[in-house]
Amino acid sequence: MSEAIFNPAPGRLAELWRPIRKILREPLGALGLFLVLLVIFGAVFADLLTGWDPTKINPRDRFQGPNPTHLMGTDQLGRDLFARVLYGGRIALFVALVSTGVSLVIGIILGLIAGYGPRWLDNLLILLFDAMKSFPTVMLALALVTLMGPSLTAVMVVIVLVTVPGYARIIRTQTIALKTSEYVTAAQSMGASSARILRLHILPNVIGPLVILASMDIPVVIGIEAGMSFLGLGVRPPTPSWGSILNDGFTNIRDTAWIAIAGGVPIIITTLGFTFLGETLRDVFDPRLKGR
Amino acid sequence: MTTLRIDNLNVSFDTEAGAFHALKNVSFNVPENTIVGIVGESGCGKSTLINSILGLLADNGRIDSGDIEFEGQDLTRLDATAMRALRGPRISAVFQDPMGALNPVLSVGEQMRNIQYRDDRSKADKDARSVEMLEAVKIPNASEALARYPHEFSGGMKQRIAIAMALMMRPGLLIADEPTTALDATLEVVTLDLLKELQEQIGCSVLFISHHLGVIAELCDEVAVMYGGEVVERGTTQQVFHNPHHDYTRRLLECDPANQRERTRRLPTMNDEPGSFQPQPAPPAPVRSAEEKPLLTVRDAEVTFTNSSLFNKRIIRGVDGVSFDLYAGETIGLVGESGSGKTTLARATARLNAISGGSITFEGQKVHSLGPSDMRGLRRDISMMFQDPIGSLSPRMKVKDLVAEPFRIHRVSGIDLDAEISRLLTLAGLGPEFADRFPHQLSGGQARRVGVARAIALRPKLIIADEPTAGLDVSVQGGVLNLLNDLREELDLAMIFITHNLNVVRHVADRIAVMYQGKIVEMGDAEDIFGSPAHDYTKKLLSANLAGPGSH
C-alpha cells in the first residue's frame, strides 16, 4: 500500500544533513543546537559525569559553596547540587518530550477530526478546546493535583491539557483550508476514503509547522514542570527537579545564593536553547519564508 | 521622444546551482504615448524584465550590465529612495491577480486616498479625484463604491479598480502584467477597451505583457517577442504578426489555436517543424440510432446553495434545470463565463456536490442515490481533471505515487504496478525520469500530463475536464489537447470539456453547450454554434472572442 512513500530514499542521510547545515549557518541556530545538545548530554550521561547520588542526604556537608568535591556546592540537606542538576535535567527532558509527544498525537487527531468531520462535531470540539484554554494553568494544576496528588503524572496531564487545544486548533484551521483544495477534491473524486485522505493527503501537509511550533513550546513545558515542582505540586521529594532545587534555593537565598543559581541557570540554558533552535527551524522550514 | 529605453540589459540570479542568466542583451524602446506588447511563454524572462524596471528584483538577482533609461534618468543607478519616489507617480503597474492586488481589509476609498499621500490636499479633494478615476473605469455608483471593500466587487471590477489606482497619479509608464489573463472573454474585451481609452486620455505609455497573441494584436502598437531571456524579434504589431522573421515567432503564431481556421483534431505544437503542420479535420458526427442509450443523462438538474446570514436566507441557484445526454466516445464542450455554473454542474455530475432537484443517470444508475459500494464502482468509471494542474496534485507525493493512487484506492490487484505507471506516463508523453519528481518540480504542462495519466489510469468511461488548459502556454496547450484527442479515440472516452476559451473548444468538442446564469441557453454541433449562434449570449460570447492576430 503506502509503504513505498515511507521507504528510505538512497540519499536519506544527505537529506537529514542538509537542514542541520542550514541551522548551523545561522549563529543563533548553532548556539541553540549547542545548548540543547549540552543539556541532553548532561541528562543522558548523568551517571558518568558525577559520582554523587542526587538523593543522598549528608547533613555534615550542608550549605557548602562550590568546591572541587561538590562542583556546584550542596543544599540544605548536603546533597550534591551538580548531581541534582544533571538528574533534574533527565526529569525535565522526560516530562517535556513525553508530554509534548502525547499532546501532539492527541492534538493532531482531534484537529483532523474537527477540521474534516461534520460541522456539529467541529463546534463541539472547539467548545471543548476553548473551555480547556480558559482555565489558567496554575488553577488547572492546583485542581488536578488536589484530585490526583502531586506526581510526575499530574504534571504531564496538566501539560497535555494545556497544550492540546493549541495544537488541535492549528491542525483544524489548516485542515479546513486544505479540505477544499483541488488535490483533496481530486482524491475524493477518485473514491478515496476519508481516513485515506486525512492520512496521505492532509496530514503530511499540515504536520510540518506543528512540529516546529512544538519545539518552540518545549521551553514553556519545561517552565510548567519547574513551576509546578517549585510550588510543590510536581515531582515528589527527594527526586531532583530544577523547580524543587530552585525552591530549596529560594528559602535560603539570603545566605546561599548558589542553590538558586544552580536551579535557575539550567532552566535558562534549556529555554534559550530550544527557543533559538525552534526559531531557526521555523525560518529554515517555513515555506512562506523560504527563498525570501 | 522615448519614455523607456532599455539597452543591452543583462540580469542574472544567484542560485544554488550557480548563476542563472535570466535576461540576455535585452534592448527595446517604449516611445511616448504608445502601447508596446511583450509576448513570450512562461519562463522567458518577462517577469524578470518588469521587476528590473521597477527595481524590485529578488535579493539574489542583480543587473550585470546595461541601461534602463526612463524619462532621461538611468534607473539602474538610482538608490532605493529615489526609485520609490518614481514608483507610483511616474511608473505604476497592474498585475494578473486582481484579488491579490487590492488590500482586502481596507476600503477602496481608503486605498485610493493612500495612493495620493504625496499630494498636499484635503481629504475631500482626494476622494473627489478617486471618484473621478472610478467613473473613468466605469464603476457604477462610484461615490458609494469608495466605502466598499474589495471582496464586494466582481473580478472584472476589481481589475478595473486596480487600473484606476495605477493610473491615478497620471504616470508616464504603466506596466500591465497579464492584466486580463484571469478574466473571461467578455470581460477581457471590456477591460482592454477601457485600458486603451484611458491610455489615450492620459497620454501615458503602456508596457503590456501577455502570452495571449490575440490580446496583443488587438491592443498594441509595437511588439517585442521574448524567448529564453532574449528579445528575438521586435517591430510594429503589423510587421511582427504578418511578416515574422524569427523562427520562434513563426511557430508561436502557428501554435495559436485561433489561427486554425478549420476545425482540426490535431493542433500544432512547438515540436513540429515550422510550416509542416497539416490540420486533421474532425470526423463527421455519427448518426445515433434510436436504440443507442446515452452514457450519461442529465435531466432538469438543479444545484442550489443557501447563503444564510442571521436575518435572511438567500437561495442561490448554481445550476438551474439543466438537461443533456452524452454518448460514449463523445465530447461535449461546456462554455460560459465564470459564475455561469459550469464547474458546479461538473462537480454535481461526479457527485462532489449534492443536487437539489432533477436527476443524473450514468449507465442507468442514478448517481446521487447510489450506496457507498456502488459509488466506489462509479468513481472508477468517472474521473476528473481539475483547473489548477499543480494544485490538483498532492504536494508531498511523487509522480509515481500520484499515478498509483487510483490503483491503490480501488485495491486493483493482479497487475504490475510499476509497469502500469510507466506505461501511463509514456502514454501521457512523460519519460520515466519524471516518476521520482514532486509536483513543485514540474512545469504546468508536465503537471497537466500527470493529471491526464492519473485520470485515465483505471480506464474510465467518462472524463470531466475542468479548464484543462487554463494558464498553459499556447504550444503546451496544443500538446495537451492533442493528447486528450488521441486518448479519447484510443480508449473510446466520453468527455465533458469545460472552458471559457472558445478558440480551443471548437477543435476538441463534438457538441457545444453554452451556459449562462445556471442554464444551458444553447446546445448544438460545434460547427453550427460557431457558424450560426442563435442565442444572444452566444453571439456576445463569440464576438468577444479575440481572434488570432492573422485576422487583422
Mind listing the pLDDT tens digit for each residue in B497-536? 998 778 888 888 889 999 988 899 999 888 888 888 888 8
pTM over 0.90: no
Cβ atoms of B159 and B125 within 8 Å: the answer is no
Mutate to test the interface with B, among A1, A182, A197 (most CBs of B within 10 A): A182
> A67 CB near a chain B CB, below 8 Å?
no
Residues in chain B: 552
How far is residue B66's CA from residue B389's CA, in Å, rounded to a whole number? Answer: 37
Cβ atoms of A52 and A83 within 8 Å: the answer is yes
E-strand ranges in B285-368 read 296-308, 313-326, 331-335, 357-362, 365-366
**Cell digits of residue B158:** 476589481
Q: Residue B409: CB partners within 8 Å, gap ≥ 6?
A: A187, A190, A191, A192, A193, A196
* B512-521 per-position pLDDT tens digit: 999 988 899 9
Residue B170 CB coordination number (10 Å): 12
- Provide, as residue numbers in chain A, all residues whose Cβ is less than 8 Å from the Cβ of B465: none
Which helix (H) or strand (E) covers residue B36, if one does?
strand B35-39
Q: Residue B547: CB partners within 8 Å, gap ≥ 6?
A: B214, B258, B503
Q: CB B393 to CB A181 under 8 A? A: no
Closest CA to B501 of B97, B155, B212, B176: B212
The answer, yes or no, to whether the previous bond of B533 is cis (omega within 30 of 0) is no
> A187 CB near a chain B CB, below 8 Å?
yes
Q: Strands B494-499 and B331-335: what pairing?
A: parallel
What is residue B171's three-state secondary structure?
coil
Q: Residue A67: CB partners within 8 Å, gap ≥ 6?
A: A73
Q: CB B401 to CB A4 under 8 A? A: yes
Over 70: is that where the pLDDT of B280 sits?
yes
| Chain A residue whose CA is closest to B458 | A190
Question: Which one-letter amino acid corresponds to residue A240?
Answer: P
What is the percent of chain A with per-residue pLDDT over 90, rounded to a whole number? 28
Mutate to test the interface with A, among B308, B378, B387, B396 (most CBs of A within 10 A): B396
Mutate to test the interface with A, among B13, B20, B392, B467 (most CBs of A within 10 A): B392
Tell me, what's the pLDDT at A289? 46
> A251 CB near a chain B CB, below 8 Å?
no
Tell me, what's the pLDDT at A8? 41
Tell me, what's the pLDDT at A102? 95
Residue A188 CB coordination number (10 Å): 20
Please list the residues that pair with B313 across neighbouring strands: B308
Over 50: is that where the pLDDT of B25 sits?
yes
Mutate to test the interface with B, among A189, A201, A292 (most CBs of B within 10 A): A189
Confidence of residue A120 (pLDDT cuts 50, 70, 90): very high
Residue A153 CB coordination number (10 Å): 12
> A195 CB near a chain B CB, below 8 Å?
no
Closest CA to B402 of A187, A208, A174, A116: A187
Cβ atoms of B400 and A2 within 8 Å: the answer is no
DSSP B152-163: GS-HHHHHHHHH
What is the percent of chain A with per-residue pLDDT over 70, rounded to a whole number? 92
Q: CB B401 to CB A205 under 8 A? A: no
How far is residue B114's CA from residue B126's CA, in Å, rounded to a whole number? Answer: 9
Q: CB B409 to CB A189 under 8 A? A: no
Does residue B167 or residue B272 have the better pLDDT? B167
**Cell digits of residue B396:** 508531498
B375, B379, B401: residue with CB nearest A5? B401
In the sheet that holds B2-15, the strands lie side by side as B18-31, B2-15, B61-70, B73-74
Helices B399-409 and B444-456, interaxial angle, to 10°? 20
* A277-290 per-position pLDDT tens digit: 888 887 777 644 44
**Cell digits of residue A253:** 537565598
What is residue B313's three-state secondary structure?
strand
Q: CB B375 to CB A191 under 8 A? A: yes
Mean pLDDT of A168-175: 92
How far is residue B29's CA from residue B108's CA, in Å, rounded to a whole number? Answer: 34
- Provide, as residue numbers in chain A, all residues whose Cβ is less than 8 Å from the Cβ of B400: 4
Cα torsion for A45, A50, A53, A57, to the nearest 10°?
Answer: -140
How far is residue A102's CA from residue B523's CA, in Å, rounded to a whole number? Answer: 59
Q: CB B352 to CB A183 under 8 A? A: no
Cα torsion for A135, A139, A143, A149, to the nearest 10°?
Answer: 130
Mutate to test the interface with B, among A22, A190, A193, A194 (most CBs of B within 10 A): A190
Q: CB A186 to CB B392 under 8 A? A: yes
Cβ atoms of B525 and B548 within 8 Å: the answer is no
Q: CB A188 to CB B395 under 8 A? A: no
Over 90: is that where the pLDDT of B224 sits?
yes
SS3 of chain A: the string is: CCHHHHCCCCCHHHHHHHHHHHHHHCHHHHHHHHHHHHHHHHHHCHHHHCCCCCCCCCHHHCCCCCCCCCCCCECCCCCEHHHHHHHHHHHHHHHHHHHHHHHHHHHHHHHHHHHHCCHHHHHHHHHHHHHHHCCCHHHHHHHHHHHHCCCHHHHHHHHHHHHHHHHHHHHHHHHHHHHCCHHHHHHHHCCCCHHHHHHHHHHHHHHHHHHHHHHHHHHHHHHHHHHHHHCCCCCCCCCCCHHHHHHHHHHCCCCCHHHHHHHHHHHHHHHHHHHHHHHHHHHHHCCCCCCC
- Provide, as residue numbers in chain B, all residues whose Cβ is less than 8 Å from the Cβ of A189: 350, 352, 379, 382-384
Over 70: is that where the pLDDT of A12 sits?
no
- Provide, as residue numbers in chain B, all residues whose Cβ is less than 8 Å from the Cβ of A191: 375-376, 379-380, 409-410
Tell me, what's the pLDDT at A34? 92
Q: Considering only the C-alpha atoms of chain A, give the largest distance between any 2 of them, rounded to a whole number of Å.
A: 77
| Chain B residue whose CA is closest to A188 | B352
Q: Which of A209-213, B51-55, B203-207, B289-293 has the lowest mean pLDDT?
A: B289-293
Cβ atoms of B254 and B68 within 8 Å: the answer is no
Q: Which of B311-320, B402-411, B418-427 has the lowest mean pLDDT?
A: B311-320
What is the complex's ipTM, to 2 decimals? 0.76
> A119 CB near a chain B CB, below 8 Å?
no
DSSP B474-495: HHHHHHHHHHHHHHHHHHT-EE
Does residue B175 or residue A262 have the better pLDDT? B175
Does residue A4 or residue B432 have the better pLDDT? B432
Over 50: is that where the pLDDT of A201 sits?
yes
**Cell digits of residue B194:** 477601457
What is residue B260's three-state secondary structure?
coil
Tell me, what's the pLDDT at A65? 76
Q: CB A192 to CB B386 under 8 A? A: no
Average pLDDT, chain A: 84
Closest CA to A32 of A217, A272, A281: A272
> A180 CB near a chain B CB, below 8 Å?
no
**Cell digits of residue B94:** 497592474
Distance from CA of B380 to the nearest CA of A (A): 7
> A183 CB near a chain B CB, below 8 Å?
yes
Cβ atoms of B107 and B127 within 8 Å: the answer is no
Which helix (H) or strand (E) covers residue B511, if one does?
strand B511-516
Residue B524 CB coordination number (10 Å): 17
Distance from CA of B59 to the nearest CA of A (A): 7
Distance from CA of A188 to the nearest CA of B (A): 8
Tell me, what's the pLDDT at A286? 60
Confidence of residue B552 (pLDDT cuts 50, 70, 90): very low
Distance from CA of B462 to the nearest CA of A (A): 12
How far is residue B510's CA from residue A267's CA, in Å, rounded to a whole number? Answer: 73
Confidence of residue A49 (pLDDT cuts 50, 70, 90): confident
**Cell digits of residue B213:** 497573441
- Provide, as residue numbers in chain A, all residues whose Cβ is less than 8 Å from the Cβ of B350: 189
Tell me, what's the pLDDT at B18? 79
> A38 CB near a chain B CB, below 8 Å?
no
| Chain B residue whose CA is closest to A196 | B409
| Residue in the block written with cell 513505498 | A4
Over 90: is that where the pLDDT of A172 sits?
yes
> Which residues of B have a CB under 8 Å from any CB of A?
59, 350, 352, 375-376, 379-380, 382-384, 386-388, 391-398, 400-401, 404-406, 408-410, 454
- Provide, as residue numbers in chain A, all residues whose Cβ is less than 8 Å from the Cβ of B406: 190
* B151-207 per-position pLDDT tens digit: 888 878 888 899 999 998 889 999 998 888 777 777 888 888 889 999 999 889 999
Q: Residue B327 burial (CB < 10 Å; 0-12/13-18/19+)? A: middle
Tell me, what's the pLDDT at B152? 83
Closest CA to B163 of B96, B222, B239: B96
User: Chain A to chain B, count of Cβ pairs less than 8 Å apart?
Assistant: 63
b vs e for A60-96, b when ≥16 Cβ sit within 10 Å of the residue's Cβ?
A: ebbebeeeeebbbbbbbbbbbbbbbbbbbbbbbbebb
> A201 CB near a chain B CB, below 8 Å?
yes
* A146-170 per-position pLDDT tens digit: 888 888 888 899 999 999 999 999 9
Tell me, what's the pLDDT at A287? 47
* A224-242 per-position pLDDT tens digit: 888 888 888 888 777 888 8
Question: Which one-letter amino acid corresponds to residue A92?
Answer: A
Closest CA to B205 of B188, B225, B219, B187: B219
Backbone angles phi, psi at A62, to 5 degrees: -65, 155
Q: Is the dihedral of CA B139, B144, B147, B152 positive or negative?
A: negative
Q: What DSSP state is assigned to residue B275?
A: T
Distance of alpha carbon B160 from its chain centroid, rounded? 18
How far is residue A6's CA from residue B495's CA, in Å, rounded to a whole number? Answer: 36
Cβ atoms of B75 and B55 within 8 Å: the answer is yes
Closest CA to B75 of B61, B54, B57, B58: B54
Tell me, what's the pLDDT at B274? 61
What is residue B498's three-state secondary structure?
strand
Over 80: is that where the pLDDT of A1 sits?
no
